[in-house]
Structure 1
């Protein structure tokens, strides 16, 4: 049992789970090892369902919200809110290190076992391809939570996270470099690309990976790696399948809904309901919008006295990991980084035309066409802030761009996350460090 605890700590939560469709517990305790396509599909469905709400928790660290410290539930988020990562209070909500490795556990079962046990079929390929894609996405989130932002100059030496591609009770889970983790992510997406055969998933099943979701993931990964052309190419492949943008001048609906025409992968909560009830939009976030011409503003916020409550997020029908809006803004950013300023402006204008009143768009079109590269970059970053408010992008975007200073107030005292603060990288949870000295 000591050896089990020492080496399998990455997966102990997964193995301990009893509600995994009766398939995944070890045979000696009376469960069944998966053998059929339906059983392996149930395993992967559990993996999808296990995907945690870590991006919602990162929102607490950003400049997007102000929390109600008089609410009793605030105590569980207080130390996250003030970036007290070392020796937090025992009731503090922990970042989802173990849960993410649990997802990897389920993906590994499908990748390693279904490929051997199942006869060849398009359904088998699709299933295993999804498992590769899900594992890639999980490692991408892990390395962007618990490691430094990707830096081409230092990625081979910067510490990443442990790599676990199979269940091995004798393996010591030592963190690999950030470069190794990104290489594995790309390898997994390449394997997924060979196998996934559905261009898109039907509504209700669009929590599962498809070609368009895979290409969207690839575009995001390459953007974070600063591989601008590859990011652009992947975005174009995704947009060739779904390029729809909701025109808010015609239809005033949230684009984050799972049945939205923009939805590509509907898996994650950007801001869970408990946090939504605890929070108001920060003055800084509100000031980022033109309240008169930006059609997103009344969709995202409602006035409550002198504050603004979030209308967005907090509901299951708004689960959203990828949508077409991201692809347009990624294309604009990548084009700019490739010195294609005119192309970046064209892409950006095609996007904002769907988000502003006609008068607002006309003014912005004049402004954007006059922008230099620096101003255009700042505007693209601003559009990401406005478009993806409380969707879980902000913390990752701040890490890979400005790492700006953020100030939160608690009991009247200011707490500051300095620019380029080391706390832009979250330390491994204490429980993980206790169980695995290699961290």
Structure 2
């Protein structure tokens, strides 16, 4: 096979922003058989991770995003704000996305606008490739029935890919589909031919975009129905085509077709992983071998971004996440002292972050996958995508939602019970009717499909639901650490709010695209400067619960008692009155801890300089040594302020050392 022909078949010129719908093909005559097109489909039509997908370049250090911001714009993640060194975080690379800026390429640090069109170009690049394949496949000869079926398969897979790529673009850059307004709503530029056209493109109406997607899916189903189901999930088959069809109809609020296609999926593949019989602590619940996996492509970059930093090993070395699971998602699984829903502990888990000098308060992190092999400390690498992943669980949820919207609540409950019986210890939930049942299904969808690329799109479509509209106000926080003298940083947290029905639920077209052709319609996102967030003032307003004072008040009182103890005993046991286990309620416990530490910092003017942090680290070594040896001379063995020259550094080191040493 002449593989070199593909160098001539498609040359992608990324130096000009006009190329997103242009193909440059001067040598299609070099395609000698359908096998050549199949190779092109495998190599460039599907969104396979590159060999560098575990490296820092995939984490948008240079502007590449690869769809990961879809996870960060919604209410599924929040920035972990406890880092105290600016070099440990990647969040500025995603600042514009996380805080819903007018231009998502905006940088908090520089104020400049960087690249915004990487995902746009990647999606259109692959659309151009499958356009070429679809345009050429029928021209290829077939010597027997098997060859003819191979051509049919290639055409079906290509149509499936074009549908999912246009569907993704429409849900990123066009307003959500409403049956009442789609005909008059601007969609996205669409091109399905392989010819080069020298013209300005226009955005097709959203209704037309979706009709084109449905046409491609019909082609995909017709073709893939004739071919065998693959034994791996990296090529689309008839099951994947039905599931994507169900999803598209769900977004269009065509409930009957959404239900029919979900049912077609479950008639072919109904298996679910039973978490009740799952043993061990293997968090790699999402993988190609799972009985639930139907289709996947693309790398799982999310695991590195949530848990690592710039693709380095810091995340696993010190157990420090970059993004954590917010309380609203944790609480969806029920009270934290109730382990009935097994997904809390398998889909998300609680850890105690470490910074090399001690542990911080527990937080919840993403646990469905373990991440790229080189940064998993021997754990199993993830082999499915974090956006383009299809599972049978989605078919159950699509079917349940569609059935409930159709008024067939018995069928909706049946599907919910089948799914939940594999997820909770005792499935005995009480299901209401009407809007309450829809609310439960939406929450179940969030519990089940969290951080698989659904939530942002789901929040958008809920806003325009004609029967049960729902919109959400989301708050994100962005923490910056500004240099504050030698080897120290001052923390400042800004708050950003995405209002209900906010225009920023839709992305503006990339600035590279609008700069080239400003006639394309684009959503007008409002300016969003943010406001300084006073965490402790917010915590003070929590109020009373169960007859107890707020965590803030108790924390301040206990800190005052600690100060008095210190004055009378003349030592540094500041934490004698610190109640680490104050309250079983997260909000109150966190308020207590933050208030206590804030009062401590104010009382003793603690600046966590490099010397202070080194003191904490050495003190932890001293404590560990004493625990292991049973001796009491850890202080003398590990205290060493001679490593610093200035008096200020020595004092900071002493304070950091004794804060930890006497605090235990």
TM-score scaled by length of structure 2: 0.59
Please, which of 174, 178, 189 is the counterpart of residue 206 of structure 2? Answer: 178
Q: How does 1:220-259 map to 2 (within 5 A)?
A: 220-252=247-279, 254-259=284-289
Q: Given that residues 269 and 391 in structure 1 are in contact (C-alpha distance below 8 angstroms), is that contact kept between their aligned partners in structure 2?
A: no
Counterpart position of 1:38: 35
- Map 1:166-205 onto structure 2 (within 5 A): 166-167=193-194, 168-196=196-224, 197-203=226-232
The 2-side partners of 1:341 and 1:94 are apart by: 43
Which residue number corresponds to residue 488 of structure 2? none
CA offset digits 1:10-52 (Å, max 9, x no partner): 146x76xxxxxxxxx644xxx9843322211111112103589
Gaps of 5+ in 2: 1-13, 50-63, 108-112, 308-321, 353-361, 373-381, 463-469, 480-492, 521-664
Rounded Cα–Cα distance in structure 2 between residues aligned with 1:256 and 1:121: 35
Match of 1:281 in 2: 325
Q: 1:50·1:103 contact (CA, 8 Å) conserved in 2? A: no
- Of 336, 348, 359, the residue aligned with 1:301 is 348
Of the three residues 373, 377, 384, the one matched with 1:318 is 384
| Structure 2 residue matching 1:246: 3-state secondary structure | coil
Q: Which has the larger radius of gyration?
A: 2
Q: Which deviations, in whole Å up to 9, do the C-alpha atoms of 1:192-224 show, x marking residues without a partner?
A: 122113352212xx2211000000010000000
CA deviation vs aligned residue, 1:159-188 (integer Å, no higher than 9, x gap) = 000011123232432110000100100111
Q: Are the equivalent residues in 2 in contact too, given 1:332–1:380 (CA < 8 A)?
A: yes
Residue 239 of structure 1 deviates from its aligned partner by 1.2
Q: Would the alpha carbon gap of residues 53 and 212 (structure 1) be closer, same or farther in structure 2, given more than 3 Å must change?
A: farther
Q: Could you tell me which of 217, 229, 240 is aligned with 2:244?
A: 217
After TM superposition, give the deviation of residue 144 of structure 1 in Å: 0.6
Partner of 1:106: 129
Aligned counterparts, 1:345-360, within 5 A: 345-358=413-426
CA distance in 2, matches of 1:126, 1:237: 19
Q: Provide the rounded CA distance (Å) in 2 between the counterparts of 1:248 and 1:134.
A: 32
Work out whether residues 83 and 423 of structure 1, in 8 Å CA contact, stay in contact via their aligned partners in 2.
Answer: yes
Alignment partner of 1:184: what SS?
Answer: helix
Aligned to 2:68: 56
Match of 1:78 in 2: 95
Unaligned runs of 5+ in 1: 16-24
CA separation in 2, counterparts of 1:160 and 1:339?
A: 31
Aligned match of 1:398: 459
SS for the counterpart of 2:288 is: coil
Give the aligned CA root-mean-square deviation in angstroms: 2.4
Aligned residue pairs, count: 414
Cα deviation per residue 1:326-360 (whole Å; 9 max; x = unaligned)?
A: 000111100000001111111111110110012xx
* Superposition pairs of residues 142-181 of structure 1, within 5 angstroms: 142-167=169-194, 168-181=196-209
CA apart distance, 1:255: 4.7
Shift in CA distance, 246/7, structure 1 to aligned 2, threshold 3 Å: closer
Q: Could you tell me how far 1:54 is from its partner in structure 2? A: 4.7
Question: Per-residue displacement from partner, 1:266-295 (whole Å, max 9, x unpaired)?
Answer: 114565233222211112211111351111
CA distance in 2, matches of 1:268, 1:219: 21
Distance in structure 2 (CA, Å) of the matches to 1:78 and 1:92: 13
Secondary structure at 2:138 match in 1:
helix
Correspondent of 1:330 among 398, 405, 410:
398
Distance 2:21 2:411 in 1: 46
Does the Cα contact within 8 Å between 1:271 and 1:390 map onto a contact in 2? no
Secondary structure of the 1:285 match is helix
State the Cα distance separating 1:93 from its structure 2 match: 6.0
Contact 1:75/1:92 (8 A) holds in 2: no
C-alpha separation in 1, matches of 2:241 and 2:304: 30
- For 1:416, the equivalent position in structure 2 comes to 497
Give the Cα–Cα distance (whole angstroms) in 2 for the partners of residues 183 and 430 of structure 1. 27
Structure with greater contact order relative to length (CA < 8 Å, sep ≥ 6):
1
Q: Given that residues 219 and 231 in structure 1 are in contact (C-alpha distance below 8 angstroms), is that contact kept between their aligned partners in structure 2?
A: yes
Counterpart residue number, 1:18: none
Q: Distance in 2 between matches of 1:406 and 1:125?
A: 46
> 140-149 vs 37-46, which deviates more?
37-46
Q: Aligned partners of 1:38 and 1:243: how far apart in 2?
A: 33
How far is the alpha carbon of 1:6 from its aligned partner? 8.3
- CA distance in structure 1 between the aligned counterparts of 2:412 and 2:65, rounded to whole angstroms: 33
Q: Which residue of 1 aligns with 2:45?
A: 47
1:280–1:307 CA contact under 8 A, matched in 2: yes
* Post-superposition offset of 1:230: 0.4
Confirm or deny: 8 A CA contact 2:48 2:299 kept in the other structure: no
Q: Secondary structure at the match of 1:312?
A: coil
